[in-house]
Amino acid sequence: MTENNPPWIRICKLEDIPRLGARRVDQPQGPQIALFRTQDDQVYAVLDACPHKGGPLSQGIVFGHAVACPLHNWTIELEDGCARAPDKGCVKKFQVKKEGEHLYLNALEINVIET
């Protein structure tokens, strides 16, 4: 749109994500990404796979700036993508750009498949 380096891809509007909720971004060829919106309208993007057993974080309950994984209730901090102690492990974080009401992800970042 406005910038080409890095290439930002428009994903959706802020209002497309429920407050204290999430949406899943489906990439047929790339990693699945969970996009979260907190009560104070902060938006975070992380890989949609809990560091514990790969649970889909996008389906968890969002509170504060954290999400509880729906499978075994690990709490993942959205600021840094890391599990709250004493659980250990981090999930990959992605940059989110907010321009007006639109949200963008960085194409260079999200196409990298991590194993």
Partner 1 sequence: MNIPSKLKLVMIGNGMAGVRTLEELIKLDPDLYDITVFGNEPHPNYNRIALSPVLSGEQTLDEIVLNPLSWYDEEHITLYLSTTVLEVDRIKRRVSAKTDLGEEITADYDRLIFATGSTPFMLPIPGVELDGVLAYRDIADTTAMIEAAKVYKNAVVIGGGLLGLEAANGLSKRGMAVTVIHVADWLMERQLDPTAGQLLEQSLKARGLKFCIGAQTQSLVAGPSGRVSQVVLKDGQCIEADLVVMAVGIRPNTALAQACRLHCERGIVVNDTMQTVTDPRIYAVGECANHRGIAYGLVAPLFEQGKVLANHLAQMGISRYVGSLTSTKLKVTGIDLFSAGDFMGRSGSANTPVQKAANLESSSDTEEIVLSDPHDGVYKKLVIKNNQLVGACLFGDTVDGSWYFKLLRDARNIADIRDKLMFGESNLGDVGHEGQTSAQSMSDSAEVCGCNGVNKGQICKAIKEKGLFTLDEVRKHTKASASCGSCTGLVEQILMFTAGGDYSATPKKKALCACTEHSHQEVRDAIAAESLHTIAAVMERMNWKTANGCASCRPALNYYLISTWPKVAQDDPQSRYINERSHANIQKDGTYSVIPRMWGGETTADELRRIANAVDKYQIPTVKVTGGQRIDLLGVKKEDLVNVWTDIGMPSGHAYAKALRTVKTCVGSEWCRFGTQDSTQMGKDLERALWRMYAPHKVKIAVSGCPRNCAEAGIKDVGVIGVDSGWEIYIAGNGGIKTEVAQFFVKLKTAEEVLEYSGAFLQLYRLEGWYLERTCHYVARVGMDHVKEKILTQADTRLALWEQLKFSLDGEPDPWFEHAQARVDTRQFQALELVAPSTP
Rounded to the nearest whole angstrom, what is the least distance from the CB of residue 108 to partner 1 in the complex?
Answer: 8
Residue that is written with structure tokens 């981090």 in the block: 90
98 lies in the binding site for partner 1 (CB under 8 A): no
Binding mask 28-67 for partner 1 (x = CB under 8 A): --x----x---xx------------xxxx--xxxxxx---
Query: Nearest distance from residue 112's CB to partner 1, in Å?
Result: 13
Distance in angstroms (rounded) separating the CA atoms of residues 38 and 67: 10
Burial of 23: CB neighbours in 10 Å, binned 0-12, 13-18, 19+: middle
